[in-house]
Structure 1
Amino acid sequence: MSFKEMITSDKRLVILRSLREMTGYKANDSILDSCLETFGHSVSRDEVRTHMRWLEEQGLITVEKVGETLVAKLTGRGGDVATGKSMVDGVKKPRPE
């Protein structure tokens, strides 16, 4: 795995874990951008949206467009990946707590 792939997979895990642990399973792209920044990932809003759409394609979140804002909701499968119960290539596996 390249360094870039490692960083990308960590950003996706941060989004899933943020939805599960910090936002009550649902958050908009602005909140997720702030969560990523809190965990050391400085990204553009466009990049956050790209990760959201990728996670949606994998069935880990659902995405609803509300005006110009994207709202993500964690799926059951996404919750399993966030906790390490399931694995998806492209999302970092969390460490045991």
Structure 2
Amino acid sequence: MSFQKTITEDRRLSLLLVLEQTPGFSANAFLLRDAIDSIYGHSASVDVVRTDLSWLAEQALVTTRTTGDVAMATLTTRGIDVVCGRAVVPGVKKPMPSGA
């Protein structure tokens, strides 16, 4: 596995983890970018975050909507299953067990 692929998979998991901790399981791409940077150390542009959100939507892990220039994402039930380790989606890093 390439290093870039590892980073991409981890960044996608980070987006799902942030959404899982967000009230209403929703946030915009700007807030998500800032959160994955400050919490998980992923320095990504808003364009990269939007691309990841589109990919996650194709996998039915989030739903997205755009108003003007603001992309919003909402975690789906399937996305919660991935965050909790109950489902595995190739292209998203598996979460570590609690306490690991």
Q: Please, what TM-score do these two structures have when normalized by structure 1?
A: 0.96
* Structure 2: runs of 5 or more not aligned: none
Match of 1:42 in 2: 43
Runs of 4+ deviating beyond 3 Å: none
Matched, 1:31 2:31: yes
Q: What is the CA–CA distance in structure 2 between the aligned matches of 1:35 and 1:58, rounded to whole Å?
A: 22
1:6 Cα deviation (Å)?
A: 0.6
1:82 Cα deviation (Å)?
A: 1.1
Letter in structure 2 aligned against 1:76? T
Count of residue pairs brought into register by the alignment: 96
Match of 1:69 in 2: 70
Matched, 1:9 2:9: yes
Letter in structure 2 aligned against 1:46? D
Indicate the percent of aligned positions where both proteins have the same amino acid.
46
Q: What is the CA–CA distance in structure 2 between the aligned matches of 1:15 and 1:4, rounded to whole Å?
A: 17
Q: Deviations over 1:12-61 (max 9, x none)?
A: 0000010002x120000011001111110111110010000000000000
Q: Please, what TM-score do these two structures have when normalized by structure 2?
A: 0.93
Q: Deviations over 1:74-95 (max 9, x none)?
A: 0000010011110000000001
